[in-house]
Amino acid sequence: MSLIQTVQDLNLWLDNNGRHGKTVGFVPTMGYLHEGHLSLIRKAKEDNDIVVVSIFVNPTQFAPGEDFKEYPRNLERDYELSCEAGADMVFHPEVSEVYPSGATTAVEVTGSLTKTLCGLSRPTHFKGVTTVVTILLNMVRPDQVYFGQKDAQQALIIKKMIRDLWMPVKMIICPIVREEDGLAMSSRNVYLNAEERKQALNLYKSLQEGEKLVEEGVIAASKIVQAVRMYLERAPLAVIDYVELLDANTLEAVAEVYDDVLLAIAVKFGKTRLIDNKILKSKEERTCF
Protein backbone atom coordinates (compact mmCIF):
# COMPACT_ATOMS: atom_id res chain seq x y z
CA MET A 1 0.00 0.00 0.00
CA SER A 2 1.22 3.48 -0.79
CA LEU A 3 0.76 6.91 0.72
CA ILE A 4 0.86 9.58 -1.97
CA GLN A 5 0.76 13.36 -1.55
CA THR A 6 1.11 14.90 -5.00
CA VAL A 7 -0.80 14.55 -8.26
CA GLN A 8 2.45 13.80 -10.04
CA ASP A 9 3.15 10.83 -7.74
CA LEU A 10 -0.48 9.78 -7.99
CA ASN A 11 -0.27 9.53 -11.78
CA LEU A 12 3.09 7.78 -11.62
CA TRP A 13 1.71 5.26 -9.12
CA LEU A 14 -1.41 4.61 -11.21
CA ASP A 15 0.68 4.16 -14.36
CA ASN A 16 3.16 1.87 -12.58
CA ASN A 17 0.32 -0.19 -11.19
CA GLY A 18 -1.12 -0.67 -14.62
CA ARG A 19 -4.23 1.50 -14.45
CA HIS A 20 -4.81 0.87 -18.16
CA GLY A 21 -6.90 -2.24 -18.51
CA LYS A 22 -7.81 -2.19 -14.82
CA THR A 23 -10.73 -0.58 -13.06
CA VAL A 24 -10.08 2.09 -10.46
CA GLY A 25 -12.50 2.63 -7.56
CA PHE A 26 -12.22 5.85 -5.58
CA VAL A 27 -13.42 6.65 -2.06
CA PRO A 28 -13.11 10.35 -1.17
CA THR A 29 -13.10 11.03 2.59
CA MET A 30 -12.07 13.65 5.10
CA GLY A 31 -10.37 10.98 7.19
CA TYR A 32 -10.71 9.95 10.81
CA LEU A 33 -12.08 6.77 9.37
CA HIS A 34 -14.78 4.61 10.90
CA GLU A 35 -16.78 1.59 9.77
CA GLY A 36 -18.93 3.79 7.51
CA HIS A 37 -15.89 4.79 5.47
CA LEU A 38 -14.50 1.27 5.59
CA SER A 39 -17.73 -0.16 4.16
CA LEU A 40 -17.21 2.09 1.14
CA ILE A 41 -13.60 0.93 0.76
CA ARG A 42 -14.61 -2.74 1.02
CA LYS A 43 -17.34 -2.27 -1.58
CA ALA A 44 -14.88 -0.48 -3.87
CA LYS A 45 -12.47 -3.39 -3.47
CA GLU A 46 -15.19 -5.88 -4.36
CA ASP A 47 -16.01 -3.94 -7.52
CA ASN A 48 -12.58 -2.81 -8.78
CA ASP A 49 -8.99 -3.89 -9.41
CA ILE A 50 -7.45 -0.83 -7.77
CA VAL A 51 -8.86 1.17 -4.85
CA VAL A 52 -7.76 4.72 -4.09
CA VAL A 53 -8.85 6.42 -0.86
CA SER A 54 -8.38 10.14 -0.42
CA ILE A 55 -8.00 11.76 2.96
CA PHE A 56 -8.42 15.48 2.65
CA VAL A 57 -10.12 17.85 5.08
CA ASN A 58 -11.46 20.26 2.52
CA PRO A 59 -11.32 23.86 3.75
CA THR A 60 -13.77 25.22 1.18
CA GLN A 61 -16.70 23.25 2.54
CA PHE A 62 -16.35 24.76 6.01
CA ALA A 63 -17.71 28.24 6.66
CA PRO A 64 -15.81 30.63 8.93
CA GLY A 65 -16.55 29.61 12.52
CA GLU A 66 -17.18 25.97 11.62
CA ASP A 67 -14.89 23.16 12.76
CA PHE A 68 -12.25 23.04 9.99
CA LYS A 69 -9.36 23.45 12.45
CA GLU A 70 -10.81 21.13 15.10
CA TYR A 71 -11.90 18.44 12.62
CA PRO A 72 -10.38 15.19 13.96
CA ARG A 73 -7.33 13.92 12.09
CA ASN A 74 -5.23 10.76 12.45
CA LEU A 75 -3.39 9.94 9.24
CA GLU A 76 -1.42 7.00 10.60
CA ARG A 77 -4.54 5.20 11.84
CA ASP A 78 -6.45 6.06 8.65
CA TYR A 79 -3.65 4.62 6.57
CA GLU A 80 -3.68 1.35 8.54
CA LEU A 81 -7.46 1.03 8.43
CA SER A 82 -7.63 1.81 4.70
CA CYS A 83 -5.01 -0.84 4.09
CA GLU A 84 -6.89 -3.45 6.12
CA ALA A 85 -10.13 -2.64 4.29
CA GLY A 86 -8.49 -3.25 0.92
CA ALA A 87 -7.24 0.13 -0.32
CA ASP A 88 -4.22 0.03 -2.62
CA MET A 89 -3.31 3.66 -2.24
CA VAL A 90 -4.08 6.52 0.13
CA PHE A 91 -3.96 9.95 -1.44
CA HIS A 92 -3.35 12.66 1.16
CA PRO A 93 -2.69 15.93 -0.64
CA GLU A 94 -1.80 19.26 0.97
CA VAL A 95 -4.34 22.07 0.63
CA SER A 96 -1.89 23.80 -1.73
CA GLU A 97 -1.89 20.76 -4.04
CA VAL A 98 -5.68 20.77 -4.35
CA TYR A 99 -6.02 24.55 -4.45
CA PRO A 100 -2.76 25.95 -5.89
CA SER A 101 -2.32 29.67 -5.34
CA GLY A 102 -4.32 31.57 -7.90
CA ALA A 103 -7.00 28.90 -8.34
CA THR A 104 -10.34 30.69 -8.60
CA THR A 105 -12.69 28.14 -10.14
CA ALA A 106 -15.63 26.61 -8.28
CA VAL A 107 -18.28 24.10 -9.30
CA GLU A 108 -21.80 24.69 -8.05
CA VAL A 109 -25.02 22.74 -8.48
CA THR A 110 -27.81 25.30 -8.47
CA GLY A 111 -31.53 24.78 -7.97
CA SER A 112 -33.70 23.01 -5.44
CA LEU A 113 -31.26 20.26 -4.41
CA THR A 114 -28.88 22.75 -2.83
CA LYS A 115 -31.54 25.14 -1.51
CA THR A 116 -32.94 22.95 1.22
CA LEU A 117 -31.84 20.96 4.32
CA CYS A 118 -28.10 21.54 4.95
CA GLY A 119 -28.01 24.02 2.05
CA LEU A 120 -30.05 26.43 4.19
CA SER A 121 -28.05 26.09 7.39
CA ARG A 122 -24.68 25.85 5.60
CA PRO A 123 -25.13 28.01 2.47
CA THR A 124 -21.55 27.72 1.18
CA HIS A 125 -21.03 24.06 2.09
CA PHE A 126 -22.14 22.22 -1.04
CA LYS A 127 -20.26 24.52 -3.40
CA GLY A 128 -17.11 23.51 -1.50
CA VAL A 129 -18.07 19.84 -1.72
CA THR A 130 -18.82 19.83 -5.46
CA THR A 131 -15.67 21.80 -6.18
CA VAL A 132 -13.38 19.46 -4.26
CA VAL A 133 -15.08 16.32 -5.59
CA THR A 134 -14.60 17.61 -9.15
CA ILE A 135 -10.93 18.35 -8.48
CA LEU A 136 -10.34 14.96 -6.86
CA LEU A 137 -12.17 13.12 -9.66
CA ASN A 138 -10.02 14.94 -12.21
CA MET A 139 -6.90 14.01 -10.30
CA VAL A 140 -7.71 10.32 -9.77
CA ARG A 141 -9.87 9.70 -12.88
CA PRO A 142 -11.58 6.63 -11.40
CA ASP A 143 -14.07 4.35 -13.13
CA GLN A 144 -16.29 4.26 -10.06
CA VAL A 145 -16.64 6.59 -7.10
CA TYR A 146 -18.23 5.66 -3.76
CA PHE A 147 -20.32 7.81 -1.42
CA GLY A 148 -22.48 7.11 1.63
CA GLN A 149 -26.22 7.49 2.02
CA LYS A 150 -25.43 8.99 5.43
CA ASP A 151 -24.96 12.28 3.55
CA ALA A 152 -28.09 11.80 1.45
CA GLN A 153 -28.28 15.36 0.16
CA GLN A 154 -24.59 15.41 -0.73
CA ALA A 155 -25.02 12.15 -2.65
CA LEU A 156 -27.94 13.58 -4.67
CA ILE A 157 -26.05 16.77 -5.44
CA ILE A 158 -22.94 14.90 -6.59
CA LYS A 159 -25.07 12.54 -8.68
CA LYS A 160 -26.64 15.57 -10.37
CA MET A 161 -23.24 17.19 -10.94
CA ILE A 162 -21.86 14.01 -12.52
CA ARG A 163 -24.88 13.80 -14.81
CA ASP A 164 -25.06 17.51 -15.69
CA LEU A 165 -21.34 17.71 -16.50
CA TRP A 166 -21.15 14.32 -18.24
CA MET A 167 -18.38 13.30 -15.91
CA PRO A 168 -17.02 9.92 -17.05
CA VAL A 169 -17.48 8.10 -13.75
CA LYS A 170 -20.08 5.80 -12.24
CA MET A 171 -21.32 6.74 -8.80
CA ILE A 172 -22.19 4.13 -6.20
CA ILE A 173 -24.11 5.03 -3.04
CA CYS A 174 -23.63 2.72 -0.03
CA PRO A 175 -25.96 2.23 2.95
CA ILE A 176 -25.61 4.01 6.29
CA VAL A 177 -23.45 2.17 8.81
CA ARG A 178 -24.55 2.58 12.41
CA GLU A 179 -23.13 1.96 15.89
CA GLU A 180 -24.62 -1.05 17.66
CA ASP A 181 -27.22 1.13 19.36
CA GLY A 182 -28.22 2.81 16.09
CA LEU A 183 -26.32 6.11 16.08
CA ALA A 184 -25.08 6.76 12.55
CA MET A 185 -21.29 6.60 12.45
CA SER A 186 -19.65 9.97 11.92
CA SER A 187 -16.17 11.33 12.46
CA ARG A 188 -17.85 14.13 14.44
CA ASN A 189 -19.26 11.69 17.02
CA VAL A 190 -15.96 12.02 18.91
CA TYR A 191 -16.92 15.58 19.82
CA LEU A 192 -19.85 14.31 21.91
CA ASN A 193 -19.47 14.06 25.67
CA ALA A 194 -21.02 11.09 27.48
CA GLU A 195 -24.37 12.75 28.09
CA GLU A 196 -24.60 14.13 24.54
CA ARG A 197 -23.69 10.72 23.15
CA LYS A 198 -26.52 9.16 25.15
CA GLN A 199 -29.04 11.73 23.97
CA ALA A 200 -27.78 11.61 20.37
CA LEU A 201 -29.37 8.19 20.11
CA ASN A 202 -32.67 10.02 19.81
CA LEU A 203 -31.74 10.87 16.21
CA TYR A 204 -32.00 7.24 15.18
CA LYS A 205 -34.93 6.55 17.47
CA SER A 206 -36.85 9.52 16.10
CA LEU A 207 -36.36 8.21 12.54
CA GLN A 208 -37.65 4.84 13.69
CA GLU A 209 -40.63 6.61 15.23
CA GLY A 210 -41.36 8.20 11.83
CA GLU A 211 -41.03 4.85 10.14
CA LYS A 212 -43.33 3.22 12.69
CA LEU A 213 -46.06 5.78 11.99
CA VAL A 214 -45.82 5.10 8.28
CA GLU A 215 -46.04 1.37 8.96
CA GLU A 216 -49.19 2.06 10.95
CA GLY A 217 -50.64 3.75 7.89
CA VAL A 218 -50.01 7.44 8.62
CA ILE A 219 -49.13 9.25 5.40
CA ALA A 220 -49.51 12.95 6.27
CA ALA A 221 -46.03 14.50 6.19
CA SER A 222 -46.96 17.11 8.80
CA LYS A 223 -47.96 14.43 11.32
CA ILE A 224 -44.79 12.44 10.79
CA VAL A 225 -42.57 15.51 11.01
CA GLN A 226 -44.32 16.61 14.19
CA ALA A 227 -43.91 13.18 15.81
CA VAL A 228 -40.21 13.07 14.91
CA ARG A 229 -39.70 16.56 16.33
CA MET A 230 -41.46 15.61 19.54
CA TYR A 231 -39.27 12.55 19.87
CA LEU A 232 -36.12 14.60 19.36
CA GLU A 233 -37.31 17.17 21.89
CA ARG A 234 -37.27 14.47 24.54
CA ALA A 235 -33.49 14.94 24.53
CA PRO A 236 -33.02 18.14 26.54
CA LEU A 237 -29.63 18.93 24.97
CA ALA A 238 -30.89 18.56 21.38
CA VAL A 239 -31.28 21.74 19.33
CA ILE A 240 -33.15 20.87 16.16
CA ASP A 241 -31.88 22.40 12.94
CA TYR A 242 -34.40 20.64 10.70
CA VAL A 243 -36.79 17.74 10.42
CA GLU A 244 -38.01 17.38 6.84
CA LEU A 245 -39.90 14.88 4.75
CA LEU A 246 -38.97 15.34 1.10
CA ASP A 247 -39.04 13.54 -2.22
CA ALA A 248 -35.99 11.26 -2.05
CA ASN A 249 -34.85 12.18 -5.57
CA THR A 250 -35.70 15.86 -5.99
CA LEU A 251 -35.72 16.98 -2.33
CA GLU A 252 -38.95 18.84 -2.97
CA ALA A 253 -41.40 19.00 -0.08
CA VAL A 254 -44.09 16.33 -0.01
CA ALA A 255 -47.49 16.47 1.69
CA GLU A 256 -47.81 12.70 1.93
CA VAL A 257 -45.59 9.66 2.09
CA TYR A 258 -45.46 7.75 -1.17
CA ASP A 259 -42.77 5.63 -2.75
CA ASP A 260 -39.32 6.79 -1.59
CA VAL A 261 -39.54 9.86 0.55
CA LEU A 262 -36.57 11.00 2.58
CA LEU A 263 -36.97 11.71 6.28
CA ALA A 264 -33.96 13.89 7.04
CA ILE A 265 -32.89 15.43 10.33
CA ALA A 266 -30.11 17.68 11.58
CA VAL A 267 -29.63 18.28 15.29
CA LYS A 268 -27.02 20.12 17.31
CA PHE A 269 -25.66 18.91 20.61
CA GLY A 270 -23.58 21.78 21.94
CA LYS A 271 -21.25 22.63 19.05
CA THR A 272 -21.67 19.25 17.37
CA ARG A 273 -24.07 19.11 14.46
CA LEU A 274 -25.27 15.63 13.54
CA ILE A 275 -27.32 14.53 10.54
CA ASP A 276 -29.20 11.34 9.84
CA ASN A 277 -31.90 10.14 7.47
CA LYS A 278 -34.13 7.26 6.48
CA ILE A 279 -35.93 6.47 3.26
CA LEU A 280 -39.59 5.77 3.95
CA LYS A 281 -42.03 3.99 1.69
CA SER A 282 -45.80 4.11 2.07
CA LYS A 283 -47.50 0.98 3.38
CA GLU A 284 -49.23 0.53 0.02
CA GLU A 285 -45.95 0.71 -1.86
CA ARG A 286 -44.37 -1.84 0.43
CA THR A 287 -47.24 -4.30 0.14
CA CYS A 288 -47.11 -4.09 -3.65
CA PHE A 289 -43.98 -6.24 -3.69
Q: Is 187 in the site for ligand AMP (CB under 6 A)?
A: yes
Considering the complex, state which of residue 169 and residue 225 has its C-beta at the smaller distance from ligand AMP: 169
Q: Distance between CA 233 and CA 211 in Å, rounded?
A: 17
Q: Distance between CA 197 and CA 140 in Å, rounded?
A: 37
Least distance to ligand AMP, CB of residue 34, Å: 7
Considering the complex, state which of residue 37 and residue 127 has its C-beta at the smaller distance from ligand AMP: 37
Considering the complex, state which of residue 19 and residue 43 has its C-beta at the smaller distance from ligand AMP: 43
> What's CA 84's distance to the chain center, in Å?
22
> Interface with ligand AMP by CB under 6 A: which range of 8-16, 45-53, 147-155, 226-234?
147-155
Q: Is 150 in the site for ligand AMP (CB under 6 A)?
A: yes
Q: Are 124 and 108 in contact (CB under 8 A)?
A: no
Least distance to ligand AMP, CB of residue 177, Å: 4
Q: Is 201 in the site for ligand AMP (CB under 6 A)?
A: no
Q: Distance between CA 35 and CA 175 in Å, rounded?
A: 11
Residue nearest to ligand AMP (CB): 148
Q: Is 266 in the site for ligand AMP (CB under 6 A)?
A: no
- Scored b (16 or more CB within 10 A) or e, 163-201 reads eeeebebebbbbebbebeeebbbbbbbebbeeebbebbe
CA distances from 214 to 207, 242, 247, 263 (A): 11, 19, 15, 11
Q: Is 42 in the site for ligand AMP (CB under 6 A)?
A: no
Q: How many C-beta atoms surround the C-beta of residue 285 within 10 A?
A: 15
Considering the complex, state which of residue 196 and residue 221 has its C-beta at the smaller distance from ligand AMP: 196
Q: Is 29 in the site for ligand AMP (CB under 6 A)?
A: yes
Q: Is 81 in the site for ligand AMP (CB under 6 A)?
A: no
Residues recorded for the chain: 289
Least distance to ligand AMP, CB of residue 253, Å: 23
The answer to whether 20 is a known catalytic residue is no
> Interface with ligand AMP by CB under 6 A: which range of 28-36, 65-73, 120-128, 227-235?
28-36
Q: Distance between CA 3 and CA 76 in Å, rounded?
A: 10
Least distance to ligand AMP, CB of residue 202, Å: 17
> Interface with ligand AMP by CB under 6 A: which range of 44-52, 107-115, 133-141, 182-190?
182-190
Q: 267, 253, 148: which is closest to 206 by C-alpha?
A: 267
User: Could you tell me which residues come within 8 angstroms of residue 223 by beta carbon, excluding any fewer than 6 positions away?
Assistant: 213
Considering the complex, state which of residue 9 and residue 67 has its C-beta at the smaller distance from ligand AMP: 67
Q: Is 79 in the site for ligand AMP (CB under 6 A)?
A: no
- At residue 64's C-alpha, the angle toward residues 251 and 34, to 5°, is 65
Q: Is 132 in the site for ligand AMP (CB under 6 A)?
A: no
Q: Letter for the amino acid at 212?
A: K
Q: Where in the sequence numbering do the catalytic residues fall?
A: 37
Which residues of this protein are in contact with ligand AMP, per CB under 6 A?
29-30, 36-37, 39-40, 147-148, 150-151, 174, 176-177, 184-187
